[in-house]
Amino acid sequence: MDDPVERLKDGFHKFKTEVYDKKPELFEPLKAGQAPKYVVFACSDSRVCPSVTLGLQPGEAFTVRNIAAMVPAYDKTKYTGIGSAIEYAVCALKVEVLVVIGHSCCGGIRALLSLQDGAPDNFHFVENWVKIGFPAKIKVKKDHASVPFDDQCSILEKEAVNLSLENLKTYPFVKEGLANGTLKLVGGHYNFVSGEFHPWH
């Protein structure tokens, strides 16, 4: 098995010689600071890499990744890691577009759909986190009760994005930006099985 540290060193060397050293016009301005246009909320899944799949260059997107790309509703005492990222991106960096991207075969979404009341808590952190998407789960279970589980998962991948977009509207600074036209919300779904990306707003 390859040494994991050497793999990282080799990867950086390739990036340094083939990208960083050859594109000073891209990296030089970043030394003075960042001015990204987008905030991208994406899943932590290793098969999902928004910068690669969307062709975003360094400095273009402020990226927030977590299980199932969840964005919780505004709360000053809970989920402050997400809240601080949104606050900094909107209030300090003055981003223009907030993008939430779900994806195919999402384990977090599958975990959410599989949750049973009173069942043993095998993955405490994961299960507690994905419960943010419970309203989307309720909607899918109600509207698509006769659909097979795997198909419900696919539908929920998109409904969870819509819920996160609605939750973003509960942040005062996001609400203000939407009202005055300085912010836009965009949802998206990346299917890495079929190689498709579908955005909506």
Catalytic residue, from 47, 91, 151, 198: name it. 47
Question: Does 201 participate in catalysis according to the annotation?
Answer: no
Catalytic residue, from 106, 150, 153, 189: name it. 106
Binding positions for Zn(2+) are: 43, 45, 103, 106
Catalytic residue, from 13, 45, 153, 189: name it. 45
HSE at residue 56, side-chain half, CA atoms within 13 A, is 17
Question: Does 103 participate in catalysis according to the annotation?
Answer: yes
Percentage of residues of the chain with pLDDT beyond 70: 97
Asked if residue 51 has pLDDT above 90, the reply is yes
DSSP assignment of 49-104 equals -HHHHTTPPTTSEEEEEEGGG--PPP-SSS-HHHHHHHHIIIIIS--SEEEEEEET
- Average pLDDT taken over every residue of the chain: 95
Question: In order of start, what are the domains of the chain with their CATH numbers?
Answer: 1-33 (no CATH), 38-200 (3.40.1050.10)
Question: Does 105 participate in catalysis according to the annotation?
Answer: no
What does the pLDDT look like over 31-42, one tens digit per residue? Answer: 999 999 999 999
Q: From the CA atom positions of the chain, what is the Rg in Å? A: 19
Asked if residue 150 has pLDDT above 70, the reply is yes
pLDDT of residue 118: 54
Binding positions are: 43, 45, 103, 106
Asked if residue 50 has pLDDT above 90, the reply is yes
pLDDT of residue 123: 77
What does the pLDDT look like over 162-177, one tens digit per residue? Answer: 999 999 999 999 999 9
Report, as an integer, the average pLDDT of 105-119.
86
What does the pLDDT look like over 54-93, one tens digit per residue? Answer: 999 999 999 999 999 999 999 999 999 999 999 999 999 9
